Amino acid sequence: ATPSRYHAVTATGTYVDGSPFSITGAINPNNDTHGTHVTGTMGAARDGVGVHGVAYNAQIYVGNTNQNDSFLFGPSPDPQYFKAVYGALADAGV
């Protein structure tokens, strides 16, 4: 049998809040489009045109950290970005 392609990911150390949190809201040109693709795969309408999403016509809410995937899963993601995204979604009543 071959080794499993899945493996545990274990974080070490502790998160430390970064510099004072502030973003301008400007689009980050280094941001990738992975979330757009995944959102379409999940929620594309079942409208008889092309394919539909696995949860077609679902209401999908998106929170963007304005960074790319390697930022999110790299060695030192800033938890303030995640806190701000979750706070904005909660404030919007999601």
Count up the domains in the chain and report the number.
1
Higher pLDDT, 16 or 80: 80
The pLDDT assigned to 18 comes to 56
Higher pLDDT, 22 or 49: 49
The pLDDT assigned to 5 comes to 57
Q: State the residue range of the domain holding 68.
A: 1-94
pLDDT, mean of residues 3-31: 58
Q: Measured between alpha carbons, how far is residue 36 from residues 33, 41, 44, 80, 92 in Å? A: 5, 9, 11, 23, 20
Q: How far apart are CA 88 and CA 91, in angstroms?
A: 5
The pLDDT assigned to 17 comes to 53
Tokens encoding 1: 């049998």
pTM of the model: 0.46
Quote the mean pLDDT of the chain: 71
- 19, pLDDT greater than 80: no
